[in-house]
A and B are shown apart, each in its own frame.
Chain A
Amino acid sequence: MKRILITLCGLAAFGATVPSIAQTTNAKDDVELLISQIQTDKRAIVLRTLDLNDAQVAAFTPIYDAYQAEMKVLMERSGAMLDKFAANYGSMTDEAAKEILKEALKLRDDRNATMRKYAKKLERELPAVKVLQWVQIENKLNTLLDMQAAAVIPIAQ
């Protein structure tokens, strides 16, 4: 139970609203729901802030949705990593710590690579100023979400 709670809190801290957790029947559904809420909220903020015209929205949204789909996979991997961290917390073996560290580094690398890949795709469709704005917004949101997540994850003992 402690594992599930830490995983959910870690993901919940990414920005989703928590009350609806109780409406689902198992932990996997809860994680899916949280990720869905986070991505829906983020999409709304990004679209509102970018202030695109109709043609730009039509070009932007398919690319952004594909980006979100790839980010969803990374968030699911983050959830699994948090689950592993929680399961081993307090009696962390060298082997478990190595695996968690390796996955954490890989996740960070994959997330940055995903963002670079989609910035390049957007550059072909939108004015450079809009792409720069998008990267700025993503960085701001991701940093805030990361900080909230980190606040509920203890430092390894």
Chain B
Amino acid sequence: MKFGPLAVALVVTAFPAVSMAQDAGLATDEQILLKQVMTDRKAVFAKNLGLTESESAAFWPIYDEYEAKVKPLNDRFLANVNRFAENYDTLSEADAAVILKEKMAIEKEREALKQKYTSKVAKALPANKALRYAQLETRIDQMVRRDVYGLIPLAK
């Protein structure tokens, strides 16, 4: 299987990038929404959280710090997908074990970061807004995951 384009497509899908708009496969309303979400994740929070000025001052530094901490995990995720892509046609047991271990480690660290920063947000905002933040964060993640998993074939 030719896997190169997949890795490229994954880069485009997994991270906010203007080239999403050029993807010919996107058609439904939800996918259009996804493009909007991906183009400016921050704008989704800004628009939907309804923060006051003082809440904004408390929230955005936490959010920016969270994004900065997530970025190295995204880089590791991409490196792991590329490893999978490079070995896809001849995936050995050793390759699969390494990829699986790294995948689970990334998921664990990503979840720990989410927990940590959602707790920080919960301390900085009223509880109903913190809950709204967690719901939005989860939904954005689900959309990204759905599209990313859709691009990665099962191991063979």
Contact = CB atoms under 8 A, between A and B. Distances in A.
Interface of A: 49, 92, 94-98, 100-101, 104-105, 108-109, 112, 116, 119, 123, 127-129, 131-133, 135-137, 139-140, 143-144, 146-147, 150, 153, 155-157
Contact of A129 (B48, B93, B132, B134): B93
Given A116-B108, A132-B100, A135-B100, A156 B93 contact: no
Interface size class of B (residues with CB under 8 A): 35 or more
A97 B100 contact: no
Contacts of A108: 111, 114-115, 138
B14 to A, nearest CB: 14
Contacts, number: 106
Interface of B: 48, 91, 93-94, 96-97, 99-100, 103-104, 107-108, 111, 114-115, 118-119, 122, 126-128, 130-132, 134-136, 138-139, 142-143, 145-146, 149-150, 152, 154-156
Nearest to A146: B142
A156 B118 contact: no
Greatest chain B CB density within 10 A among A49, A101, A137, A155 is at A101
B128 to A, nearest CB: 5
Contacts of A137: 154
Interface of A is mostly: helix
Given A129-B96, A133-B155, A147-B142, 17 more contacts: A92-B128, A97-B127, A98-B127, A98-B130, A104-B134, A108-B111, A109-B111, A112-B108, A116-B108, A127-B93, A127-B96, A129-B155, A133-B154, A136-B155, A155-B135, A156-B132, A157-B128
Contact of B104 (A49, A109, A116, A143): A116
A128 B93 contact: yes
B142 A132 contact: no
Nearest to B111: A112
20 contacts: A92-B127, A94-B126, A100-B131, A101-B127, A101-B134, A105-B118, A105-B119, A109-B111, A112-B108, A119-B104, A127-B96, A128-B94, A128-B96, A129-B156, A131-B100, A132-B100, A133-B154, A143-B142, A143-B145, A150-B135
